[in-house]
């Protein structure tokens, strides 16, 4: 399978197939399976799982708090957001 690497204006490199052989699909499938296996092995790290779970849980808690605050504030939400924006602007 012959390939040509083409670089776009924004710096992306694209592999372009020049000719197709009967085995091209099989080669592409094998390459895809190899990538899936490679990344699944990288995922086996306990440390990475811990970090990912911690980040996801922190985001989940933060979003839940925001939703609850929005519900509690009701109509005053816009006023509170404006006040917080002003505080943050002057704090920086």
Domain boundaries, the chain: 3-42, 46-91
pLDDT of 20 reads: 64
Mean pLDDT throughout 31-50?
77
Number of H helices, E strands in the chain: 3, 2
Mean pLDDT throughout 55-75?
84
pTM of the model as a whole: 0.39
Does the pLDDT of residue 91 top 70, yes or no?
no
Cβ–Cβ under 8 Å, residues 20 and 1: yes
Q: List C-alpha distances in Å: 28 to 14, 24, 25, 66.
A: 15, 6, 5, 45
Average pLDDT over all residues of the chain: 79
């Amino acid at each position: 399978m012959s390939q040509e690497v083409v670089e776009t204006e924004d710096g992306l490199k694209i592999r372009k197939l020049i000719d197709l052989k009967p085995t091209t699909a099989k080669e592409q499938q094998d390459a895809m399976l190899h990538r899936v296996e490679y990344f699944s092995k990288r995922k086996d790290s306990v440390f990475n799982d811990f970090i990912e779970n911690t980040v996801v849980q922190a985001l989940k808690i933060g979003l839940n708090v925001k939703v609850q605050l929005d519900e509690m504030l009701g109509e005053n939400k816009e006023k509170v957001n404006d006040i917080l924006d002003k505080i943050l602007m002057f704090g920086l």
